[in-house]
Amino acid sequence: MTKRMFIMLGAIVVLVAALAFGFYLHIQKLMAASPKPGPQTVTSMKVPALEWQPQLNAVGSLVAVHGVDLAAEVAGLVRTVNFHSGQEVAAGQVLLQLNADADLAQLHIAEAAAELSGLVYQRDQAQLEAKAISQAQFDADAADLKGKKAQVAQQQALVDKKTIRAPFAGRLGISTVMPGQYVNAGDKFVTLQSLNPILVDFNLPQQRLSQLKVGQPIDLAVDAYAGAALAGKISTINPRVDANTRNVQVEATLDNSKHQLLPGMFANVAVNVGAKGRFLTLPQTAIAYNPYGATVFVLKPDSANPKQLVAQQVFVTTGLTRGDQVAVLKGLEEGQEVVTSGQMKLKNGTPVVVDNTVQPANSPNPKPQEH
Protein backbone atom coordinates (compact mmCIF):
# COMPACT_ATOMS: atom_id res chain seq x y z
CA MET A 1 0.00 0.00 0.00
CA THR A 2 2.76 2.42 0.90
CA LYS A 3 4.69 1.54 -2.22
CA ARG A 4 1.62 2.17 -4.37
CA MET A 5 1.13 5.61 -2.80
CA PHE A 6 4.73 6.57 -3.55
CA ILE A 7 4.24 5.52 -7.15
CA MET A 8 1.09 7.64 -7.48
CA LEU A 9 2.73 10.67 -5.92
CA GLY A 10 5.68 10.30 -8.26
CA ALA A 11 3.35 10.10 -11.24
CA ILE A 12 1.52 13.24 -10.12
CA VAL A 13 4.81 15.14 -9.72
CA VAL A 14 5.95 14.06 -13.18
CA LEU A 15 2.60 15.11 -14.68
CA VAL A 16 2.73 18.54 -13.00
CA ALA A 17 6.32 19.08 -14.16
CA ALA A 18 5.38 18.11 -17.71
CA LEU A 19 2.43 20.52 -17.72
CA ALA A 20 4.58 23.37 -16.33
CA PHE A 21 7.29 22.76 -18.92
CA GLY A 22 4.73 22.69 -21.70
CA PHE A 23 3.21 25.96 -20.47
CA TYR A 24 6.67 27.53 -20.32
CA LEU A 25 7.40 26.53 -23.92
CA HIS A 26 4.04 27.94 -24.98
CA ILE A 27 4.77 31.30 -23.31
CA GLN A 28 8.19 31.44 -24.92
CA LYS A 29 6.63 30.75 -28.30
CA LEU A 30 4.06 33.53 -27.81
CA MET A 31 6.75 35.98 -26.73
CA ALA A 32 8.87 35.14 -29.74
CA ALA A 33 5.87 35.57 -32.04
CA SER A 34 4.69 38.87 -30.51
CA PRO A 35 5.60 41.99 -32.56
CA LYS A 36 8.48 44.05 -31.17
CA PRO A 37 7.79 47.75 -30.51
CA GLY A 38 8.79 49.92 -33.43
CA PRO A 39 10.88 53.11 -33.29
CA GLN A 40 9.31 56.07 -31.47
CA THR A 41 8.94 59.41 -33.27
CA VAL A 42 10.64 62.38 -31.58
CA THR A 43 12.00 65.82 -32.40
CA SER A 44 15.65 66.59 -31.83
CA MET A 45 18.36 69.22 -32.23
CA LYS A 46 22.11 69.45 -31.97
CA VAL A 47 23.22 71.23 -28.79
CA PRO A 48 24.40 74.76 -29.72
CA ALA A 49 26.71 77.04 -27.75
CA LEU A 50 25.13 80.51 -27.74
CA GLU A 51 26.28 83.84 -26.35
CA TRP A 52 23.75 85.39 -24.02
CA GLN A 53 23.44 87.77 -21.12
CA PRO A 54 22.70 86.07 -17.77
CA GLN A 55 19.56 87.58 -16.27
CA LEU A 56 17.38 87.42 -13.19
CA ASN A 57 13.69 87.39 -14.07
CA ALA A 58 10.85 88.82 -12.00
CA VAL A 59 7.32 90.14 -12.30
CA GLY A 60 6.85 93.82 -11.45
CA SER A 61 4.35 96.67 -11.39
CA LEU A 62 4.79 100.15 -12.77
CA VAL A 63 4.52 102.98 -10.26
CA ALA A 64 4.52 106.76 -10.73
CA VAL A 65 7.32 108.75 -9.08
CA HIS A 66 4.55 111.06 -7.85
CA GLY A 67 0.94 109.90 -7.97
CA VAL A 68 -2.04 110.97 -5.86
CA ASP A 69 -5.81 111.09 -5.90
CA LEU A 70 -6.61 114.76 -5.35
CA ALA A 71 -9.30 115.60 -2.80
CA ALA A 72 -10.79 118.69 -1.17
CA GLU A 73 -9.33 119.48 2.24
CA VAL A 74 -12.45 121.36 3.32
CA ALA A 75 -16.11 121.09 2.37
CA GLY A 76 -17.69 123.57 0.00
CA LEU A 77 -19.63 124.32 -3.16
CA VAL A 78 -17.63 124.04 -6.40
CA ARG A 79 -17.53 127.42 -8.11
CA THR A 80 -15.19 126.69 -11.03
CA VAL A 81 -13.41 123.65 -12.47
CA ASN A 82 -10.23 124.83 -14.21
CA PHE A 83 -9.16 121.58 -15.86
CA HIS A 84 -10.44 118.83 -18.14
CA SER A 85 -9.90 115.08 -18.02
CA GLY A 86 -6.52 113.89 -19.29
CA GLN A 87 -4.93 117.33 -19.19
CA GLU A 88 -1.22 117.88 -18.57
CA VAL A 89 -0.83 120.39 -15.73
CA ALA A 90 2.06 122.28 -14.16
CA ALA A 91 2.96 122.36 -10.48
CA GLY A 92 0.88 125.00 -8.66
CA GLN A 93 -1.77 125.29 -11.38
CA VAL A 94 -5.26 126.03 -10.03
CA LEU A 95 -7.54 123.05 -10.59
CA LEU A 96 -10.63 123.70 -8.48
CA GLN A 97 -12.13 126.78 -6.84
CA LEU A 98 -14.65 126.36 -4.03
CA ASN A 99 -17.04 129.12 -2.96
CA ALA A 100 -15.14 131.21 -0.38
CA ASP A 101 -17.36 134.31 -0.05
CA ALA A 102 -18.15 133.79 3.64
CA ASP A 103 -14.55 132.96 4.43
CA LEU A 104 -13.32 136.07 2.62
CA ALA A 105 -15.74 138.20 4.64
CA GLN A 106 -14.38 136.72 7.85
CA LEU A 107 -10.87 137.39 6.58
CA HIS A 108 -11.68 141.07 6.01
CA ILE A 109 -13.11 141.31 9.56
CA ALA A 110 -9.94 139.78 10.97
CA GLU A 111 -7.76 142.11 8.88
CA ALA A 112 -9.70 145.16 10.14
CA ALA A 113 -9.30 144.05 13.75
CA ALA A 114 -5.58 143.49 13.20
CA GLU A 115 -5.25 146.93 11.60
CA LEU A 116 -6.91 148.56 14.61
CA SER A 117 -4.65 146.65 16.99
CA GLY A 118 -1.68 147.88 14.98
CA LEU A 119 -2.74 151.53 15.40
CA VAL A 120 -3.23 151.04 19.15
CA TYR A 121 0.21 149.47 19.39
CA GLN A 122 1.79 152.40 17.57
CA ARG A 123 0.14 154.91 19.95
CA ASP A 124 1.23 152.80 22.91
CA GLN A 125 4.85 153.02 21.78
CA ALA A 126 4.71 156.85 21.81
CA GLN A 127 2.83 156.98 25.12
CA LEU A 128 5.21 154.50 26.75
CA GLU A 129 8.16 156.74 25.91
CA ALA A 130 6.30 159.66 27.56
CA LYS A 131 5.40 157.39 30.48
CA ALA A 132 1.72 158.06 29.86
CA ILE A 133 0.86 154.31 30.05
CA SER A 134 2.24 151.45 32.06
CA GLN A 135 4.48 148.70 30.72
CA ALA A 136 1.72 146.19 31.48
CA GLN A 137 -0.71 148.05 29.21
CA PHE A 138 1.86 148.18 26.44
CA ASP A 139 2.57 144.42 26.73
CA ALA A 140 -1.17 143.62 26.69
CA ASP A 141 -1.71 145.65 23.51
CA ALA A 142 1.34 144.06 21.88
CA ALA A 143 0.00 140.58 22.66
CA ASP A 144 -3.43 141.58 21.30
CA LEU A 145 -1.80 142.65 18.04
CA LYS A 146 -0.04 139.28 17.72
CA GLY A 147 -3.32 137.50 18.39
CA LYS A 148 -5.14 139.52 15.74
CA LYS A 149 -2.41 138.80 13.17
CA ALA A 150 -2.63 135.09 13.99
CA GLN A 151 -6.39 135.20 13.39
CA VAL A 152 -5.75 136.81 10.00
CA ALA A 153 -3.24 134.06 9.11
CA GLN A 154 -5.69 131.37 10.24
CA GLN A 155 -8.51 132.78 8.17
CA GLN A 156 -6.21 133.27 5.18
CA ALA A 157 -5.22 129.59 5.39
CA LEU A 158 -8.90 128.61 5.34
CA VAL A 159 -9.49 130.79 2.27
CA ASP A 160 -6.45 129.26 0.56
CA LYS A 161 -7.86 125.77 1.13
CA LYS A 162 -10.83 126.74 -1.04
CA THR A 163 -8.40 126.99 -3.99
CA ILE A 164 -7.04 123.53 -4.90
CA ARG A 165 -3.78 123.49 -6.87
CA ALA A 166 -1.73 120.77 -8.54
CA PRO A 167 0.98 119.68 -6.05
CA PHE A 168 3.31 118.63 -8.89
CA ALA A 169 3.40 118.48 -12.68
CA GLY A 170 1.73 115.51 -14.33
CA ARG A 171 -1.28 114.17 -16.18
CA LEU A 172 -4.79 114.32 -14.77
CA GLY A 173 -7.18 111.41 -14.93
CA ILE A 174 -10.95 111.41 -15.41
CA SER A 175 -12.75 114.17 -13.52
CA THR A 176 -15.61 113.30 -11.17
CA VAL A 177 -16.61 116.87 -10.24
CA MET A 178 -18.54 119.68 -11.91
CA PRO A 179 -19.45 123.30 -11.12
CA GLY A 180 -22.27 123.65 -8.61
CA GLN A 181 -21.52 120.32 -6.95
CA TYR A 182 -21.08 120.21 -3.18
CA VAL A 183 -18.01 118.30 -2.05
CA ASN A 184 -17.17 117.10 1.43
CA ALA A 185 -13.73 117.17 2.98
CA GLY A 186 -11.79 114.19 1.66
CA ASP A 187 -13.89 113.66 -1.48
CA LYS A 188 -11.59 112.62 -4.35
CA PHE A 189 -12.27 114.36 -7.64
CA VAL A 190 -9.38 113.43 -9.98
CA THR A 191 -6.10 111.48 -10.03
CA LEU A 192 -2.79 113.16 -10.86
CA GLN A 193 0.15 111.05 -12.05
CA SER A 194 3.69 112.09 -12.92
CA LEU A 195 4.57 109.87 -15.90
CA ASN A 196 8.18 110.72 -16.74
CA PRO A 197 10.26 109.10 -15.43
CA ILE A 198 8.35 106.07 -14.21
CA LEU A 199 9.29 103.38 -11.69
CA VAL A 200 8.94 99.61 -11.71
CA ASP A 201 8.77 97.71 -8.41
CA PHE A 202 9.64 94.00 -8.27
CA ASN A 203 10.92 91.37 -5.83
CA LEU A 204 13.86 88.99 -6.00
CA PRO A 205 14.98 86.18 -3.65
CA GLN A 206 17.44 87.17 -0.96
CA GLN A 207 20.00 84.75 -2.46
CA ARG A 208 20.37 87.19 -5.38
CA LEU A 209 21.33 90.20 -3.24
CA SER A 210 25.04 89.81 -4.00
CA GLN A 211 24.25 90.17 -7.72
CA LEU A 212 22.31 93.44 -7.33
CA LYS A 213 23.55 97.01 -7.14
CA VAL A 214 22.22 100.51 -7.76
CA GLY A 215 22.73 101.56 -11.39
CA GLN A 216 22.46 98.00 -12.73
CA PRO A 217 20.66 97.85 -16.12
CA ILE A 218 17.33 96.07 -16.56
CA ASP A 219 15.17 95.11 -19.53
CA LEU A 220 11.41 95.49 -19.38
CA ALA A 221 8.57 93.88 -21.34
CA VAL A 222 4.89 94.83 -21.12
CA ASP A 223 1.97 93.13 -22.85
CA ALA A 224 0.61 96.42 -24.15
CA TYR A 225 3.74 97.00 -26.28
CA ALA A 226 4.92 93.52 -27.24
CA GLY A 227 8.39 93.61 -28.74
CA ALA A 228 9.16 97.16 -27.60
CA ALA A 229 12.71 97.61 -26.29
CA LEU A 230 12.35 99.12 -22.82
CA ALA A 231 15.34 99.60 -20.56
CA GLY A 232 16.08 101.20 -17.21
CA LYS A 233 18.39 101.10 -14.22
CA ILE A 234 18.01 99.99 -10.63
CA SER A 235 17.56 103.09 -8.49
CA THR A 236 16.78 101.61 -5.05
CA ILE A 237 17.28 98.31 -3.22
CA ASN A 238 15.13 98.01 -0.13
CA PRO A 239 17.35 97.84 2.99
CA ARG A 240 15.04 95.23 4.54
CA VAL A 241 14.21 91.67 3.43
CA ASP A 242 10.60 90.58 3.83
CA ALA A 243 10.59 88.13 6.74
CA ASN A 244 7.60 86.21 5.31
CA THR A 245 8.77 85.66 1.74
CA ARG A 246 12.55 86.20 2.18
CA ASN A 247 12.41 88.45 -0.89
CA VAL A 248 13.92 91.88 -1.27
CA GLN A 249 12.05 94.68 -3.01
CA VAL A 250 13.87 96.42 -5.85
CA GLU A 251 12.91 99.61 -7.66
CA ALA A 252 14.15 100.67 -11.09
CA THR A 253 13.71 103.93 -13.00
CA LEU A 254 12.79 104.09 -16.68
CA ASP A 255 12.54 106.91 -19.19
CA ASN A 256 8.92 107.41 -20.22
CA SER A 257 9.11 110.56 -22.32
CA LYS A 258 6.57 109.11 -24.78
CA HIS A 259 4.13 108.44 -21.91
CA GLN A 260 3.59 104.89 -23.18
CA LEU A 261 3.82 103.31 -19.74
CA LEU A 262 1.16 103.93 -17.12
CA PRO A 263 1.19 103.30 -13.36
CA GLY A 264 -0.34 99.98 -12.38
CA MET A 265 0.71 98.13 -15.54
CA PHE A 266 2.06 94.58 -15.24
CA ALA A 267 5.66 94.12 -16.42
CA ASN A 268 8.20 91.32 -16.90
CA VAL A 269 11.57 92.45 -15.59
CA ALA A 270 14.97 91.00 -16.50
CA VAL A 271 17.99 92.19 -14.51
CA ASN A 272 21.30 91.81 -16.34
CA VAL A 273 23.87 90.14 -14.07
CA GLY A 274 27.53 89.63 -14.91
CA ALA A 275 29.14 89.64 -18.32
CA LYS A 276 27.94 87.90 -21.47
CA GLY A 277 29.09 84.31 -21.86
CA ARG A 278 28.73 81.23 -24.07
CA PHE A 279 26.36 78.55 -22.80
CA LEU A 280 25.16 75.23 -24.12
CA THR A 281 21.48 75.97 -24.63
CA LEU A 282 18.39 73.79 -25.03
CA PRO A 283 14.64 74.39 -25.22
CA GLN A 284 13.08 73.92 -21.80
CA THR A 285 10.93 71.11 -23.28
CA ALA A 286 14.10 69.00 -23.68
CA ILE A 287 14.72 68.87 -19.91
CA ALA A 288 12.90 66.40 -17.65
CA TYR A 289 12.97 67.50 -14.01
CA ASN A 290 12.77 64.68 -11.47
CA PRO A 291 13.32 64.38 -7.70
CA TYR A 292 16.65 62.69 -8.41
CA GLY A 293 17.85 65.31 -10.92
CA ALA A 294 17.37 66.81 -14.38
CA THR A 295 17.78 64.51 -17.41
CA VAL A 296 17.79 64.61 -21.19
CA PHE A 297 17.78 61.91 -23.87
CA VAL A 298 20.79 61.87 -26.19
CA LEU A 299 20.53 60.12 -29.58
CA LYS A 300 23.29 57.69 -30.58
CA PRO A 301 23.67 55.03 -33.31
CA ASP A 302 22.67 51.52 -32.26
CA SER A 303 25.75 49.32 -31.82
CA ALA A 304 24.02 46.44 -33.65
CA ASN A 305 22.61 48.65 -36.41
CA PRO A 306 24.55 51.93 -36.86
CA LYS A 307 21.82 53.31 -39.15
CA GLN A 308 19.28 53.12 -36.32
CA LEU A 309 19.28 55.84 -33.64
CA VAL A 310 18.56 54.89 -30.03
CA ALA A 311 17.91 57.05 -26.97
CA GLN A 312 20.21 57.22 -23.97
CA GLN A 313 19.25 59.10 -20.80
CA VAL A 314 21.91 61.34 -19.23
CA PHE A 315 21.91 63.60 -16.17
CA VAL A 316 22.54 67.33 -16.67
CA THR A 317 23.07 70.39 -14.48
CA THR A 318 20.98 73.37 -15.60
CA GLY A 319 21.62 77.07 -15.08
CA LEU A 320 19.72 80.26 -15.75
CA THR A 321 16.76 80.43 -18.12
CA ARG A 322 16.09 82.90 -20.92
CA GLY A 323 12.63 82.85 -22.45
CA ASP A 324 12.05 79.33 -23.80
CA GLN A 325 15.71 78.41 -23.34
CA VAL A 326 17.73 76.97 -20.45
CA ALA A 327 21.52 76.89 -20.06
CA VAL A 328 23.11 73.47 -19.53
CA LEU A 329 26.23 73.70 -17.35
CA LYS A 330 27.21 70.00 -17.11
CA GLY A 331 26.36 66.70 -18.74
CA LEU A 332 26.41 67.57 -22.46
CA GLU A 333 28.85 68.59 -25.16
CA GLU A 334 28.35 70.96 -28.05
CA GLY A 335 27.02 69.19 -31.15
CA GLN A 336 25.38 66.24 -29.39
CA GLU A 337 21.90 65.40 -30.71
CA VAL A 338 19.27 65.72 -27.99
CA VAL A 339 15.55 64.86 -27.97
CA THR A 340 13.47 68.05 -27.62
CA SER A 341 10.00 66.47 -27.44
CA GLY A 342 8.53 62.97 -27.13
CA GLN A 343 10.64 61.88 -24.12
CA MET A 344 7.66 60.41 -22.22
CA LYS A 345 7.65 57.27 -24.41
CA LEU A 346 11.42 56.71 -24.24
CA LYS A 347 13.77 54.67 -22.09
CA ASN A 348 17.40 53.66 -22.49
CA GLY A 349 17.90 51.81 -25.75
CA THR A 350 14.56 52.74 -27.33
CA PRO A 351 14.92 53.12 -31.13
CA VAL A 352 13.72 56.46 -32.47
CA VAL A 353 12.77 58.18 -35.69
CA VAL A 354 13.43 61.92 -35.87
CA ASP A 355 10.70 64.11 -37.34
CA ASN A 356 11.48 67.84 -37.01
CA THR A 357 8.49 69.05 -39.01
CA VAL A 358 7.15 70.80 -35.88
CA GLN A 359 9.70 72.02 -33.36
CA PRO A 360 9.00 73.12 -29.76
CA ALA A 361 9.34 76.79 -28.83
CA ASN A 362 12.96 77.87 -28.55
CA SER A 363 13.00 81.67 -28.46
CA PRO A 364 15.07 83.78 -26.03
CA ASN A 365 12.36 86.47 -26.21
CA PRO A 366 9.00 84.75 -26.69
CA LYS A 367 6.03 86.88 -27.70
CA PRO A 368 2.32 86.26 -27.12
CA GLN A 369 0.70 84.31 -29.94
CA GLU A 370 -2.76 85.78 -29.31
CA HIS A 371 -3.47 89.42 -30.11
**What digits encode the pLDDT tens for the residues 290-307?**
888 899 999 999 888 888
Q: The domain 40-52+277-354 is classified under which CATH number: 3.40.50.620, 3.20.20.370, 2.40.420.20, 2.70.150.10?
A: 2.40.420.20
Nearest CA among 79, 143, 42 for reference residue 345: 42
**pLDDT exceeds cutoff 80 at 2:** no
**pLDDT exceeds cutoff 80 at 326:** yes
Question: At the top level of CATH, which class does the domain 68-98+169-193 belong to?
Answer: mainly beta
Bin 364: left if φ > 0, else alpha if -120 < ψ < 50, else beta: alpha
- Residue 102 vs residues 99, 106, 149: alpha-carbon distances, Å: 8, 6, 19
How far is Cα 248 from Cα 79, in angstroms, rounded to an integer? 48
pTM of structure:
0.64
pLDDT at position 204: 92
Q: What is the pLDDT of residues 257-274, one digit of tens each?
A: 888 889 999 898 988 887
CATH code of domain 100-161: 1.10.287.470
Model confidence band, residue 367 (pLDDT cutoffs 50, 70, 90): low
pLDDT at position 39: 84
- Residue 151 vs residues 72, 74, 115, 157: alpha-carbon distances, Å: 22, 18, 12, 10
What average pLDDT does the chain have? 85
What superfamily in CATH does domain 56-65+195-272 come from? Answer: Efflux pump adaptor protein, beta barrel domain (2.40.30.170)
- Residue 2 vs residues 10, 12, 14, 80, 283: alpha-carbon distances, Å: 12, 15, 19, 126, 77
Model confidence band, residue 371 (pLDDT cutoffs 50, 70, 90): very low
Q: What is the pLDDT of residues 48-107, one digit of tens each?
A: 988 887 788 889 999 999 999 999 888 888 999 998 898 999 999 999 999 888 878 888
Contact assessment for residue 340 and residue 324, using Cβ atoms and an 8 Å cutoff: no
Contact assessment for residue 186 and residue 233, using Cβ atoms and an 8 Å cutoff: no
**pLDDT exceeds cutoff 60 at 34:** no
Contact assessment for residue 321 and residue 359, using Cβ atoms and an 8 Å cutoff: no
Domain coordinates of the chain in residue numbers? 40-52+277-354, 56-65+195-272, 68-98+169-193, 100-161
Contact assessment for residue 163 and residue 75, using Cβ atoms and an 8 Å cutoff: no
The angle formed by the CA atoms of residues 220, 225 and 228, to the nearest 5 degrees, is 55
pLDDT at position 117: 84
- Residue 108 vs residues 22, 120, 149, 310: alpha-carbon distances, Å: 123, 19, 12, 98
How far is Cα 230 from Cα 215, in angstroms, rounded to an integer? 16
